[in-house]
Amino acid sequence: MTERPVVRAAHTFELTAPEREAVRALLDTAFDGDFGDEDWDHALGGVHALVRDTDGLLIAHGSVVQRRVVHADRSYRAGYVEAVAVRADRRREGLGHRVMAALERVIDRAYDFGALSASDAGAALYTARGWQVWPGPLGALGPAGPVPLPEERGSTYLRPAAGRPLPAPGQPLAFDWRDGDLL
């Protein structure tokens, strides 16, 4: 029987420099060079789920960071999922599900709800885990005021934290501002 790789959860401050370098290398490769410095910055400052094979090679990663989201005159703490990736030669082994299970545990215990922006390739993983496409309007709170993000409709997913309802879709979700991709 093959030993299952272990999932380790660690905050960014707990990762050693070589571990951070290994995560960045995995992400650069998994996203075919389309993972920039701003994307990397978005993945830092929260909890990482790291999966290594029996030889210690990093084979999967994801992180969850806090984002402030304003909806219907209330500010929420959202656990925003970033940088989910599995080595190409280890895909379809359930590693993405294991990474997401670890991140969802963090969301359930620390946030009002989970949020993420999914690529077409990643959407099936999130849908299979019960994440739901946000049907309402989206935006960001920019330095000069609200910025609508109609192009993000259909790719932004939410998941309720344990025992908490999702915001109602009648009013927009307005995410905090950041450099690079806003969602």
- Whether 159 shows a pLDDT value over 90: the answer reads yes
Using a cut of 0.85, tell me whether the model's pTM lies above it.
yes
Q: Which residues neighbour 160 within 8 Å (Cβ) at sequence distance 6 or greater?
A: 113, 114, 166
Q: Shortest CA distance to 78 belongs to which of 110, 48, 103?
A: 110
- Whether 154 shows a pLDDT value over 70: the answer reads yes
Per CATH, the number for 7-176 is 3.40.630.30
The rounded percent of the chain whose pLDDT value lies above 90 is: 94
3-state helix, strand and coil shares in percent for the chain, rounded to the nearest 5: 30, 35, 35
- Whether 9 shows a pLDDT value over 70: the answer reads yes
Quickly state the pLDDT bin for 170 (edges 50, 70, 90).
Answer: confident
Q: What is the mean pLDDT of the chain?
A: 95
Tell me what pLDDT residue 5 has: 83
- For 91-134, write each residue's pLDDT tens digit: 999 999 999 999 999 999 999 999 999 999 899 999 999 999 99
Tell me what pLDDT residue 89 has: 96
The dihedral formed by the CA atoms of 116, 117, 119 and 124, expressed in degrees to the nearest 10: 40
Q: Shortest CA distance to 50 belongs to which of 95, 91, 92, 89?
A: 95
The rounded percent of the chain whose pLDDT value lies above 70 is: 99
Q: Is 150 helix (H, G, I), strand (E, B) or coil?
A: helix
The 10 Å Cβ neighbour count of residue 153 is 13
Tell me what pLDDT residue 10 has: 98
CA atoms of 52 and 9, how far apart (whole Å):
12
Residue 50 — φ and ψ, nearest 5°? -120, 135
Quickly state the pLDDT bin for 2 (edges 50, 70, 90).
Answer: low
Question: Domains of the chain: which residue ranges?
Answer: 7-176
Quickly state the pLDDT bin for 6 (edges 50, 70, 90).
Answer: confident
- For 36-54, write each residue's pLDDT tens digit: 999 999 999 999 999 999 9
For 83-96, what is the mean pLDDT? 96
